[in-house]
Structure 1
Amino acid sequence: MSNNNFVLNYMCHPNKTRGRHFTEEEDKYRNCFQRDRDRIIHSNAFRKLEYKTQVFINYAHDYYRTRLTHSLEVAQIARSITCRLNLNEDITECIALAHDLGHPPFGHAGEDALKQSLKLMNQAYEFDHNVQSLRILVYLEQKHADFDGLNLSWEVLESIAKHNGPLPVNNKLLLEYNDKYDLKLEEFPSAEAQVASIADDIAYSVHDLDDALRANFITIDNLLSIPLVGNVFQDIKNRYIGISKNKVIHKSLSTIIGVMINDVVCQTEKNIQNYNIKSIEDIRKLNKPLVTFSPEVAENIIEMKRFNMQNIYKHYKLNRTMNKAKRIINDLFLSFYNNPELLPDEWSKCGQDPIVICDYISGMTDRFAIHEHRRIFDTSYEMTIF
């Protein structure tokens, strides 16, 4: 929670929580959101993020970001913003740490492959990593004796379900969870959830540039034409004559993140005043996001994302790798769907259930998916039952 001594009526306060689906005794030393954060950190799904792709396959270079390091960076940025806005840092950290739990191996390429596989099988169910994150938290994590999932506070579940804004209920699982947990999907989420979402935008927009520079997909000179980014890089180069390229990159990207954080804080404070926000309900009923960039910086970020799309995400080297990744996921899905007996015993008993197959595949790390593909399709690989 913020270090300030006063409590704003529109912050998520642990004493005002709607509670957990399964009643538990309160902890003497941690509030409900702190317990939620600890449960997320100790979950199997969170640990697996270390070996799941952010953009670049992590085993290709030790320095490339993974889903785990990305989630930690999002949490750090989110806490910085939340502290300055006098909001609740604990729940913001929960949302940031858990927002990517549902990603399958190989990042968005893996998700695209699962969606494609489901379409080929004429399945009505559509895989969505945000819904899968929720599914992990309420069902798939099997660590507690008294319940499935992690039994997190309602505010955390609601925030993770719709941290990017209100959602149409057009997903089978999302409809089920909305009926069970009353997630109010038609409303905007808390300010803390919106902070986590915008921190995600900041983190991946800037840090993908860092990884692309390491991969030699782009150069510093390529960045000079991007609004905000180019100005900062040029300023750092002018101010620090003779420093190494790595120092220029680190100082510039750190400065850009700082500029974005300052902008979000200043603009959101204006929004709070302009919209006369007095309560959490005011935020939920608002027909627009409360936590935003200023129009100028928002436009700069659009340009940055456009650059990233053209020069990083569509780079032929990355496309070659992700094409292989999609083939791995497609092959695995088709194989498990047509031959459920190839699944481990605890999974195969569900037969041709596409949701269960998606659960199994999306829970894999990159390297496990690669090895699983080899075990099934490579006749020269480990011809043993062990």
Structure 2
Amino acid sequence: MASPGADPLGLAPWASRPSTSHGRRYPETGIDIRNAFQRDRDRIIHSAAFRRLEYKTQVFVNHEGDLFRNRLTHSLEVAQIARTIARSMGFNEDLTEAIALGHDLGHTPFGHAGQDALDACMHNYGGFEHNLQSLRVVDVLETRYADFDGLNLTFETREGLIKRCSPERAKRLGEVGLRFLNGTQPALEAQLTNIADSIAYNSHDIDDGLRAGLLELEQLREVEWIDALTRAALKKHPTLKDRRLVHQIVRDLIADQVHDLIHSTEQRIAELAPDSADAVRQLKKPLIGFSDDMQTRHHALKRYLHEHLYRHYRVHRMTIKAHQVVTALFDAFMNDPALLPTSFRNDATERARQRGPRGQARVVADYIAGMTDRFAIAEHDRLFQAGFGC
């Protein structure tokens, strides 16, 4: 039972509320037992782009093993971490979950290697960035509804899908791009999901790296934070070893970050005392963040992973192959749009008529970005191998 004057939803004053949403791009009518942010979450879950995340790389290509994270399991883990923090701090849990589940919808096959390759291919045509592509997916590319293109999500969910954006691109995004032009912030739920994303991929990439044999725990203990967590785990459980020890360390790693994030954020909120979600948006710096000490530890861990995991020769081999596959597909479809499936070929022809090569390139990028790892490999084989499969 809520106390007199308390928010009936249990939300803090600075949390986002469906009742004060900035709305959808296309007005909708009708009665629904769900609030606007719950509907956003459900639309994302039922989208084709969300299902494809199951077969898109996090670090390891899909065929390398059944237990490694993919973009779908990563999105679920981000949602779990973000929802836990949102609930504990009185933020809007439904909105947080919608943003977390949708934040990677625009990711290419082959993880960041695929994005880098597609961005290089699109250099002369406006570039490619997977956060902006996520917005493009929910605004344009999904085709589930008779009345509009995309999923017609609320402004609040859409703003949470974009982490970064150049001023030039932001000018074309309307209201959702204004913060990149005037230096203000998104709602707390968007800020939270951004950091929950980092917590999830750093912590779980360690787990996958150890499982794959690309990292060794003794080697990883060169990181002071990991060494401290390992010593604490072994002090409490002296016989703990192998996977159980790794799982304990990863859990404690996440817990350290979550607790620090909550404490540091509470201090910032208490200092600035915003009285609404829109008041949060007017701030020049984010409210959600680690303490200075945790930020230092976080960066040290990221540097270690970049050096010893993401640049590992086995990962680098995958990166090179991913660049070759994505680049070859892009060049083939740009040189001969007739190679595209009918719907994309028609779109490419129309966009080329309207905007020239830049328009055609965007359709080609949409097609490639929507591929799963295995579909991209199969499409590459169909185009470039000696057989005659189509």
Q: Same fold (TM over 0.5)?
A: yes
Residue 302 in structure 1 maps to residue 335 in structure 2 = no
**How many residues are matched?**
373
Counterpart in the other structure of 1:374:
381
Counterpart in the other structure of 1:170:
168
Q: 1:164-188 CA distances to partner (integer Å, 9 max, x unpaired)?
A: 36x43223xx533326x66543321
2:243 is matched with which residue: 242, 246, 268?
246
Deviation for aligned residue 1:116: 1.8
1:336 is matched with which residue: 318, 333, 336?
333
1:266 is matched with which residue: 263, 266, 274?
263
| Change in CA separation of 1:183 and 1:140 when aligned onto 2, cut-off 3 Å | farther
Counterpart in the other structure of 1:52:
56
Distance 1:325 1:3 in 2: 50
Counterpart in the other structure of 2:102:
98
Deviation for aligned residue 1:148: 0.3
* Residues 340-355 of structure 1: pairs in structure 2 closer than 5 A: 340-349=337-346, 350-351=348-349, 352=357, 353-355=360-362
| Change in CA separation of 1:61 and 1:4 when aligned onto 2, cut-off 3 Å | farther
- Give the unaligned 5+ runs of structure 2: 1-5, 350-356
8 Å CA contact 2:12–2:89 kept in 1: the answer is no
8 Å CA contact 1:189–1:283 kept in 2: the answer is yes
Q: 1:337-361 CA distances to partner (integer Å, 9 max, x unpaired)?
A: 0010000111112235110000000
Counterpart in the other structure of 1:220:
217
Distance 1:239 1:367 in 2: 44
Counterpart in the other structure of 2:352:
none
Report SS of the residue matched to 2:266.
helix
Residue 117 in structure 1 maps to residue 121 in structure 2 = yes
Residue identity in the other structure for 1:334: D
Residue 140 in structure 1 maps to residue 141 in structure 2 = yes
Report SS of the residue matched to 2:172.
helix
8 Å CA contact 1:3–1:83 kept in 2: the answer is no
Distance 1:343 1:68 in 2: 26
Counterpart in the other structure of 2:186:
189
2:366 is matched with which residue: 356, 359, 365?
359
Residue identity in the other structure for 1:277: P
Aligned alpha-carbon RMSD (Å): 1.8
| Change in CA separation of 1:258 and 1:106 when aligned onto 2, cut-off 3 Å | same
Deviation for aligned residue 1:159: 1.9
Distance 1:18 1:78 in 2: 22
Tell me the percent identity. 40
Distance 1:76 1:268 in 2: 19
Distance 1:9 1:242 in 2: 47
Deviation for aligned residue 1:205: 0.8
Counterpart in the other structure of 2:128:
127
8 Å CA contact 2:106–2:131 kept in 1: the answer is yes
Deviation for aligned residue 1:225: 2.3
Distance 1:183 1:93 in 2: 23
Counterpart in the other structure of 2:315:
318
Counterpart in the other structure of 2:3:
none
8 Å CA contact 2:62–2:374 kept in 1: the answer is no
Distance 2:223 2:22 in 1: 45
8 Å CA contact 1:77–1:199 kept in 2: the answer is yes
Distance 2:141 2:257 in 1: 36
